[in-house]
Each structure stands twice: as structure tokens, then as C-alpha cells.
Chain A
Amino acid sequence: MAKQLLVYCVVVISILVSVNGCQNGNGTPQDNSPFGMQTRSNLVSTVSYPLYYMTQRIAGDSIAIELIAPPERAPDQWTPDQKQIQTLQESDLIIANGPGAPFAQWMVRVSLPESRICHTTDNLDLQDFISVKDYRVVHRHGPEGEHSHPFMVAQTWLDPKIARKQADQIAAALESRYPEKAAIFQENRQGLDQDLDRLANRMKSIPGGEVLTSTPRLKFLTRAAGLTDTHLLWFDLPDKKSWSEKGEQDFLGRAKQSSSKSILFDTVPPGWFKNRLEGLGYQTYSLDSFSQGGLPEGADSDFIRIMDQNLETLQSAVPQ
């Protein structure tokens, strides 16, 4: 019996030692660094073409730049797919506009690493932003009762001076993330600054006056050019089927608030609409607000060239 007792004791002690030993071996490895899992992918994502362009001009070939946007539509009613979300989550930086001028509305529907988002409008003054009242849908649900959606104009890059402030933010974010490449960024930056300054100077040659626009999206451009702008429509252009006589009367009623007979569109208006407006004595002009998500068409087309074209069109639309 004494032998049995001894064997029992040895077995129990062995089990105790071995189980404790196993437990220590399987412990979760601890990493006390606050952002220990943060990696550097040398990838920067941008959410609009102008931001993509400015980032690429500053970074040159030193970093991979990705544009996350729908190719041929506005990003308002769009959400990136799983692969694009993964790209965003793996990026060292996500270059976006910011809450005062939210261009990529899908960002509120996607989980992003907040600490890596660069809000390029953070350094803008309050008066730099443009807010437009919603004049259509009012609805009621949620805790705040009846409400509509006010609209903060997002196309900040149409004002070259604001675009330059955004470039400042992009450069600062890149330098902070990749300090070893700061010299490259500063050198590249000079060329972009010169181009934006040239655009800003060109704006000064546009005579002041009134202008009609199809959408509030062009307000940064018209304000930078010193023009008084009345927008006649909201985001979408009407289709022929839904265009009613009452709709036309409302449209003309708003148009008559301005003395201008030039209507600026941020896209090419449909033929029937253009003909109808011209029949009513209005001239239509097409500009590009970079509201469509993708890269511009044409190999030699870029942000600065398109802005130059915009200014040429604007000059021809405003009576000298």
C-alpha cells in the first residue's frame, strides 16, 4: 500500500508539472508596443483623382499611389468592394478631403484605420468651405425628427489656392510617414506649386459677373474666379421622360434670378436638354469638376491640363 501511495503521489505531481509547463508554452505572445502590428506597405491610397494627381506629383515614383474610386460614376452612391477595402486598410496613408468637404461619401460606410487618414482640408479656414442648402427631400426618422441633407461642396480642388493648401497637407503627411524621403517630396513639390500658382493667376484674368450652373459642384471654381453663381439643379441632370412643364418652369424661375445666359455643366448635357436650353436662349458650357471617380481619359490629360481647359471654357462663358 505504501508503494501504491508513493506511485500515486509521483503521478499527480508529474501531471501538475506537465500541465503547467504546457500552459506556459502556449501563452499568447505579448507585444507591448502600442501600434505593434502597424506595417509599412509603401502604398498610399487616394479617394479622388485630383488628390491622386497631387499625391503622385509630390511623391513621384518613390511610393505606389492607388486611386480608390468608381471608374465612371460619382462616388456618392458607391461602396468599394472587399479587395479595394483591403487595399485601403493596408495603405500607409489614405489621402481624403475631410469632414468639411466630404467627397468620398463611401468612407462613412467603410471601416478604415482612422490614424492613417490624412484629411487634406484640415488646414482650411472656415470661410474656405462652401455649404449649400438642400432644396428637395425632407424626411423624418431617427432621434432628430424632421430633417433634410445639407450639402457641403466637396470639389475644393477647383480653387487652385485651396488645392495648394491641400497639397501642403499631403506633403506634410507624406513627410511624416516617410521622413527619409522628405527631400524628394520637397523637390517634387516645387513643380506642383508653380502649376497651381499659375492657375490661380489665370483665375484673376476672368472678369467678374454672374453665371448659371447646373450643379453646386462648380461653386469652388466660380468663387475662385470671382463669379456670382446660381445653381439650377442638384446632382443629377433630368432625363427626357421625367422633364415636365412644371419642372421647366421651376428651372427657368431659378434661372431668371440671374442676368446670365450662360449655364455651366460639370458634364456634357444630354442633346435634348442642350437643344431645349439653347432654344430658350441659353448657352451651355461643359467643364470638369472631377466628380467622376476615375482617371481622366487620354494619355496626356491630367489635372492641370483639365483645369486649364476649364478656365478657357469659363473665360468664353463669361461676357468680357
Chain B
Amino acid sequence: MSLLNLVLRYIQYHKLKTLVLIASIFLTAFLPITIMILLGQFNEKIISRAESTPMVIGAKGSGLDLTLHALYFTTKRPDKIPFATAGEIRATGWARPVPIYSQFTARGFPIVGTTLDYFKFRNLPLAEGQWLSRLGDCVLGSQIARELQLGPGDRLLSDPDNILDLGGQYPLKMLVRGVLEPTSSPDDWAVFVDLKTSWVIEGLGHGHQNLEEETDELKVEVRSDGTLQATAAVLPFMEITDSNIDSFHFHGETADFPVTAVIAVAPDEKSETLLMGHFQATDDETQLVQPVAVIEELMSLVFQVKKFFDLNAVLIAIATVCLLILVLVLSQRLRQREMQTMFKIGCSRGTILLLQVSELAVLFLFSSLMVAIGVWAVWLLAGDLVQSLLIGSHG
């Protein structure tokens, strides 16, 4: 019987002891490695998203909230700014504005009102269907399409603003025009609509029947000055179709309509600096943030906290090693008679030592294998896990 066979037989016989030792080694190594991977992924994802978003303009307030909203469409929405800000950025000639208005949800997922430039800016390819064409269209992120089982041609209803407010905004039944390719980014978890569609959901634009042709007195009153007044019985259309799209219109200047953030894409560093100076010097209502700087500040704080975790992991590792030594010493005493028997039947002291070292080596091998499998699983799941942490729980 070979030495390895003897070792394996021993391990098989002392299952509980073996399992406890393997679990101790596994947990001691697995937990810090997992934290390291998750944090690394978190850092990589959040930094890469921030790096691809050079500047964000939004209402004065928390720069972190504004950044996270513009990057991840988080539900903690910053104050609104007028759409004219996008025009102001364009007028400077230093950057291209990509407005974002994320105020509503559909089945719990954020509705992101933007322009077609967003898809080009993020380089988002279309998996199926078409791009947004007109009011009422939406393009779904890949994960939403998969989760809700929706595809081009299907309809998706926006969530009412407040279900207890009967006089609030009407939900809009949107037409799914296309589905994006998976990108492992927050764009997978967003419902994209044209900025104007989000304003329709807000109630700033609507379509209704032609009042001049309406004869129902419950719907139209004729005033003494000859003007027509629509009553509350005239309801805006809840779905935009071929037959009613021509009646959709907006009230007021679109320049005054709200957006929650504007991404500014400058062609070079000089333009970026000029635009930053422009907003610092001229505007009291808005702020310009550089997501990379904001996120790096956040991550430096996170890594400060991580140092405590690292110290904790080192202490746990030391405790585990002490525990292992204790177990081995006690085990050695318990196996005193077994060792004497082996010596008597002809085993040298070296062979006995090798046998014990081999037992330990097999334990470490098993533990390492389990750690490797665990780490591999974490590595595979880390991207989605971190993504869901960043965009909030949607699933």
C-alpha cells in the first residue's frame, strides 16, 4: 500500500476532523480573496463607467448623487435643471450635450429619457428591432427584455407617479421598438425613451381629440367670448398610435422643460477646461462635476475602510493557523500508539514524518481546490453582483 493511499484512507476514516480543517482553511482564504475580487470589480466597473463619462452638469447639491444618477440612473434623483442647459453647452461649441431625464419607472425599472446621441456616446449596439423613432417608443436594456420577456412590438406601461393620487399623471403605454445588446453596464437595466416621451409621461405634452369638432357639452364648453374650453372629461391619450400621434403637442418652451443631468462630451482637454470654467464662473443654479474625480474620492474612502478588513483577515488567518497547530499537536498525542505500531512494523521515522506531512498537504490541496472553485464562481458572478449593487436591486 503506497504512502498516499495510507493518507487518503486516514482522511476518509476521520471525515469530521478533515471537514472541519478544510472548512477552516477554505474560509480563511476564500473570504478575503472574495472581498478583494468584489472590490476590484466594483472599482474597475465604477471607474470605467466614470472614465467614459467626462463631465456631468446638473443641479447644485451632492456631486456624488448627481454622478451616480447620470451613470447608474439611481432612484435618488437630483433636482431638475432646464433643458436649456443642453443648449447652453452646445452654444459654447466646447462640448456636445447628452441630456438625461430619469424620473419615472416601468415595472420598477428606470425610464431614461435621452436623445439618440446617448446610444452613440455609449456605443450601445442594437440586438434586435429598431432605434427610437417617435413619441411613445422605447428601447429596452438586454436584462430588462430578458426579465420581462419583452421584445420589439410589445407594449410596456410606465408606472403611475403615485397610485394614491387619482388626479396624477396617466401612465403611458410605450411601444418596445428595439432591444440593446448586453453590455454588462447599467444600460442593460434601463428603459430608454426619447426625452420628449419622458416629458409626455411628465404631462408636459399630450394628445387629445380635436376640440373644435367635439359636440359633447360634457367635454367642451363655449365661453361668452366665443372661445372653447375643454372640461376634465377630455382625457389625454394613454397610448401613442398612428391614428393619434399627429395630435400630440407640448405646452410651453421645451427649453424650460426639465432634465436631471446633462453629460457633456468635449473633444479635447482644452474644451473640457473651458467648459468647466464657464460653469464655475457663470452659474449659481447648476454644477459641473467630473465623474472620475468624484468616484476616485469615493473609492479612496472605500479603500480606507478596506484596510480594516485586510487587518481583520490577517488576524483571522493567524487565529486559524494557531488553531491548526493546536489540532495537529493534539492529534499527534492521540495518534501516539498508531505511530509506535507503524515504527514497530518497520516504518522509519522519516516515513512517518512524511506520512503526516502528506496528510497536511492533501488537506491544503483539497482546501486550495475548493478555494479555486469558489473564487472562480465569484469571479464569474462578480460582474453581475457588483452591477446589481451599483444600480440597486431590480430583480
Nearest B residue (CB) for A38: B120
Which residues, 253 to 305 on A, are CB-close (under 8 Å) to B? none
Can you show 7 pairs from A to B with CB atoms below 8 A apart? A2-B2, A5-B8, A35-B121, A99-B254, A109-B134, A137-B230, A250-B226
Cα distance, A111 to B131, chains bound together (Å)? 9
Contact, CB under 8 Å: B115 / A113: yes
Contact, CB under 8 Å: A136 / B212: yes
Interface membership of B57, Cβ < 8 A: no
Contact, CB under 8 Å: A77 / B246: yes
Cα distance, A7 to B131, chains bound together (Å)? 51
In the complex, which residues of chain A have a beta carbon less than 8 angstroms from the beta carbon of B182?
Answer: 28
Interface membership of A79, Cβ < 8 A: yes
- Distance (whole angstroms) from the CB of B190 to the closest CB of chain A: 16
- Distance (whole angstroms) from the CB of B313 to the closest CB of chain A: 24
In the complex, which residues of chain A have a beta carbon less than 8 angstroms from the beta carbon of B231?
Answer: 140
Cα distance, A23 to B381, chains bound together (Å)? 12
Interface membership of B331, Cβ < 8 A: no
* Of B17-25, B102-110, B201-209, the one with at least 4 CB within 8 A of chain A: B201-209
Interface membership of B347, Cβ < 8 A: no
Contact, CB under 8 Å: B5 / A78: no
Interface membership of A138, Cβ < 8 A: yes
Cα distance, A78 to B184, chains bound together (Å)? 39
Interface residue ranges, B against A (CB under 8 Å)? 2, 4-5, 8, 52, 54, 86, 90-91, 96-97, 99, 115-117, 119-121, 123, 125, 130-135, 137, 181-184, 194, 196, 202-206, 208, 211-212, 223, 226-232, 234-236, 245-255, 265, 267, 369, 372-373, 376, 379-380
Cα distance, A2 to B121, chains bound together (Å)? 56
Do A141 and B4 form a contact, CB below 8 Å, given A108-B249, A115-B117?
no
Interface membership of A25, Cβ < 8 A: no
Contact, CB under 8 Å: B254 / A114: no
In the complex, which residues of chain A have a beta carbon less than 8 angstroms from the beta carbon of B90?
Answer: 115
In the complex, which residues of chain B have a beta carbon less than 8 angstroms from the beta carbon of A105?
Answer: 249
Which residues, 19 to 71 on A, are CB-close (under 8 Å) to B? 19-20, 23, 28, 30-38
Of A2, A20, A23, A148, the residue contacting B8 (CB under 8 A) is A2
Contact, CB under 8 Å: A35 / B120: yes
Contact, CB under 8 Å: B96 / A139: no
Contact, CB under 8 Å: B96 / A115: yes
- Distance (whole angstroms) from the CB of A126 to the closest CB of chain B: 13
Interface membership of A85, Cβ < 8 A: yes
Of B115, B196, B203, B369, the residue contacting A9 (CB under 8 A) is B369
Contact, CB under 8 Å: B203 / A36: no
**Which 5 A-B residue pairings sit nearest by Cβ, starting from the closest?**
A139-B230, A111-B132, A111-B194, A114-B115, A34-B265
Nearest A residue (CB) for B99: A114
Contact, CB under 8 Å: A16 / B123: no
In the complex, which residues of chain A have a beta carbon less than 8 angstroms from the beta carbon of B246?
Answer: 77-79, 106, 109
Cα distance, A106 to B227, chains bound together (Å)? 26
Nearest A residue (CB) for B193: A111
Interface membership of A82, Cβ < 8 A: yes
- Distance (whole angstroms) from the CB of A130 to the closest CB of chain B: 16
Binary CB contact string for chain A from 119 to 141 against chain B (1 if under 8 A, 0 otherwise): 00010000000000001111111
Chain B binding surface, main DSSP class: mixed
In the complex, which residues of chain B have a beta carbon less than 8 angstroms from the beta carbon of A82?
Answer: 130, 133
Contact, CB under 8 Å: B229 / A139: yes
Contact, CB under 8 Å: B5 / A31: no
In the complex, which residues of chain B have a beta carbon less than 8 angstroms from the beta carbon of A32?
Answer: 52
Binary CB contact string for chain A from 79 to 101 against chain B (1 if under 8 A, 0 otherwise): 10010011001000000000100
Contact, CB under 8 Å: A12 / B123: no
Cα distance, A17 to B265, chains bound together (Å)? 39
Contact, CB under 8 Å: B232 / A141: yes
Contact, CB under 8 Å: A140 / B250: no
In the complex, which residues of chain A have a beta carbon less than 8 angstroms from the beta carbon of B4?
Answer: 2
Cα distance, A139 to B120, chains bound together (Å)? 39
Interface membership of A146, Cβ < 8 A: yes
In the complex, which residues of chain B have a beta carbon less than 8 angstroms from the beta carbon of A135?
Answer: 227
In the complex, which residues of chain B have a beta carbon less than 8 angstroms from the beta carbon of A148?
Answer: 227
Cα distance, A99 to B253, chains bound together (Å)? 8
Do A141 and B249 form a contact, CB below 8 Å, given A28-B182, A113-B116, A136-B227?
no
- Distance (whole angstroms) from the CB of B216 to the closest CB of chain A: 14
Do A34 and B96 form a contact, CB below 8 Å, given A142-B203, A142-B204?
yes
Cα distance, A135 to B206, chains bound together (Å)? 20
Contact, CB under 8 Å: A138 / B255: no
In the complex, which residues of chain A have a beta carbon less than 8 angstroms from the beta carbon of B115?
Answer: 111-115
Of A1, A36, A85, A136, the residue contacting B134 (CB under 8 A) is A85
In the complex, which residues of chain B have a beta carbon less than 8 angstroms from the beta carbon of A13?
Answer: 372
Contact, CB under 8 Å: A34 / B121: yes
Nearest B residue (CB) for A35: B120
Contact, CB under 8 Å: A109 / B245: yes
In the complex, which residues of chain B have a beta carbon less than 8 angstroms from the beta carbon of A89?
Answer: 116, 131, 133
Interface membership of A149, Cβ < 8 A: yes
